[in-house]
A and B are shown apart, each in its own frame.
Chain A
Amino acid sequence: MIKLLNPELYEEDDRNAVRLIGAACPTCSGVFFPMQTYGCERCGADLRPRRFAAAGTVTAQARVHLHRAANPPTPFTVVALELDDGPVIRALLTSDSPPCQIGDRLVGELVDITEPDSEPRRDLRFTRAVAQ
């Protein structure tokens, strides 16, 4: 089994569904991603972990042509999406995803990635959902 690149950010459940590891504030009811233990950005209270489905709606997208680092190789697409569970996150589109635009539905999937001098890992990417 190939290990996850960022197991503190996402996980795969028994039915292979990807879930994001976010946070909820018991004091102000805010929901956030990712989970962190420093304190709620809105009110300062201690946060509790909450799992979010890796599915949401595109609120912005940008195709990147020039990037200082070698990883990820250009071109690639960054999306902002509002998760069905509330938080707005930014993520990468899979390299084989159809182009997306604002309002499109996206779902998360774990893809194999290989970086130089490191063992293969799986990382979270999003792809445009196919209408059922």
Chain B
Amino acid sequence: MTVVLNDLRPVYVVGIGLHRYQFASDTPYVALGLTAVRAALEDARLDWPAVESAYVGRALLPMAAGRAILRHLGTTGLPIAHMENASASGSTAFRHACFEVATGLCDVALALGVDKPGAAPAGRAESLSGIRNLADFAISPATHYALLADRYAHRHGVATDDFALVAVKNHRNGAKNPFAQHQKVRSLEEILGGKKIAGSFTSLQCTPVGEGAAAVIIASEAAVKRLGLDTRRAVRVSASAARSQRVYEPNVPYDAFLTAETTAMALQQARLAPKDLDIVELHDAFSVEEVEYVEAMGLCGEGKALSRLKEGAFDIGGACAVNPSGGLIAMGHPIGPTGVGQVAEIVRQLRGEAGPRQHAGARRGLAHMVGVGAVCYVHILET
């Protein structure tokens, strides 16, 4: 018989910290990572030696980056595991840190996401698989999602320019987030008038490339009590689900299908329905993704996302605040940190500490990441 996270002992996020996501700079990755971890320790009011295990999510940095960062907090001999899972690297680190605490292998664990473009040769291992294809050399992620946007617009009879409304909302949210890479309100005209990338996408509908770090500290209930942590600021992780892509029938929108499958598993674990969610942080590297994923998650009916978006349903203060951090489009997507940063935003919202971007009364949040379209991770957090 298998168990899920919710069957094990409860785990809580007790500390969060970030280094602002930013365009590539001279800042060493060690400084990025230490800023985030020290902020998380301070937020938890916890001393570093209390952390018993560390998971480090990164996709662009070379091997063993975590040790080079964490040794500057004082070497305690804790185990360090590095996780690479494309865009979902940070989410994967978080999941495994949660499970290590939930199973009782340790009481306090760190999940750190850190990355820096250009530090090592980047690329997809699939390009080295020995299997050639007709046009892989010409299909970037933007083009992949532009194809999905074309199909969605055709299937539902919507204007492709309407996808830019996602970017309007997320840039508006990012403008209120001091950790966001883009912090500027953008009009629909500005977004549609930007540099053309692929299909209907312009540059401000696409996530920027950048660097940054995010850290969260996970603790058991026993550790929260033993270490005298603030129980009112501890946020429970009530579900963790992960799936990978299968072979689908031709023309099935498989990115959305994978999200639907994984989200349904997480909601079942948490015994929640989509309508119970107050906050969703999802993988919106390209504007059409938010449209497809909110439908796949069940936040609205199929083909209804754009009309619900226009009604304000996914705004801060709407039925469910989607990407209040600014999402990948505005907050940024430094790869390794992104999934951990989503958790940090949800914790901030559920504590009521999100300041000008606070979604009133937020009690339940869902974090969603996909990695090169092939893996999907979903976590649910509750107060």
A122 to B137 alpha-carbon distance, docked (Å): 16
Asked if B132 contacts A89 (CB within 8 A), the reply is no
Residues of B within 8 A of A41 (CB): 247
The contact string, 1 if C-beta is below 8 Å from chain B, for chain A 51-68, is: 000000001111111111
Residues of the B chain whose Cβ atoms lie less than 8 Å from the Cβ of A120: none
Question: Residues 81-115 of chain A: 1 if any B CB is under 8 Å from the residue's CB, otherwise 0?
Answer: 01000111111100000000110000000000000
Q: Are A82 and B133 in contact (CB under 8 A)?
A: no
Residues of A contacting B197 with CB < 8 Å? 64-66
A30: B residues at CB distance < 8 A: 247
* Cβ–Cβ contact B198 & A64, under 8 A: yes
Q: How far is the CB of B152 from chain A (nearest CB, A)?
A: 9
In the assembled complex, the CB of A25 is this many whole angstroms from the nearest CB of chain B, namely 10
Nearest Cβ on chain A to B157's Cβ, whole angstroms: 12
- In this assembly, does A12 line the interface, its C-beta being within 8 Å of a C-beta of chain B? no
Interface: B146 (CB within 8 A): yes
Is there a chain B Cβ closer than 8 Å to A2's Cβ? Answer: no
Q: How far is the CA of A64 from the CA of B147 in the complex (A)?
A: 10
Contact in complex: A82, B196 (CB < 8 Å): no
Q: Is the CB of B133 within 8 A of A102?
A: no
How many residues of chain A have a CB within 8 Å of chain B? 37
Q: Which residues of B contact A68 (CB under 8 A)?
A: 140
What's the Cα separation between A6 and B149 when bound, in Å? 29
The A/B interface has a contact count, at CB < 8 Å, of 92
Q: How far is the CA of A9 from the CA of B136 in the complex (A)?
A: 13
B131 to chain A, nearest CB (A): 5
Residues of A within 8 A of B250 (CB): 59, 82, 86-88
Bound-state CA distance A76–B109 (Å) is: 48
Chain B hits for A61, CB < 8 A: 147, 150
User: What residues of A have a CB within 8 angstroms of the CB of B146 in the complex?
Assistant: 62, 64
- In contact, B247 and A9 (Cβ under 8 angstroms): no
Does B131 contact A90, Cβ atoms closer than 8 Å? no
Choose among A36, A60, A124 the residue that contacts B134 (Cβ–Cβ < 8 A).
Answer: A124
Q: A42-B247, A60-B147 are in contact. Are A66 and B138 (CB under 8 A)?
A: no
Which chain A positions have C-beta within 8 A of B148?
60
CB distance from B155 to the nearest CB of A (A): 9
Complex Cα spacing A124 to B131, Å: 17
Determine whether the beta carbon of B135 is less than 8 Å from that of A91.
yes
B317 at interface by CB-CB < 8 Å: no
Contact A9 B198 (CB under 8 A): no
**Using a CB-CB cutoff of 8 Å, which residues 186-245 of chain B contact chain A?**
195-199
Q: Contacts A34-B131, A36-B131, A62-B143 given; indicate if A69 touches B150 (C-beta within 8 A).
A: no
Binding site for A on B (CB under 8 A): 130-140, 142-143, 146-151, 154, 195-199, 246-247, 250-251
Add 13 more A-B contacts to A80-B147, A90-B139 (CB < 8 A): A41-B247, A60-B147, A60-B151, A64-B199, A65-B196, A65-B198, A67-B138, A68-B140, A69-B137, A78-B138, A78-B139, A78-B147, A82-B251
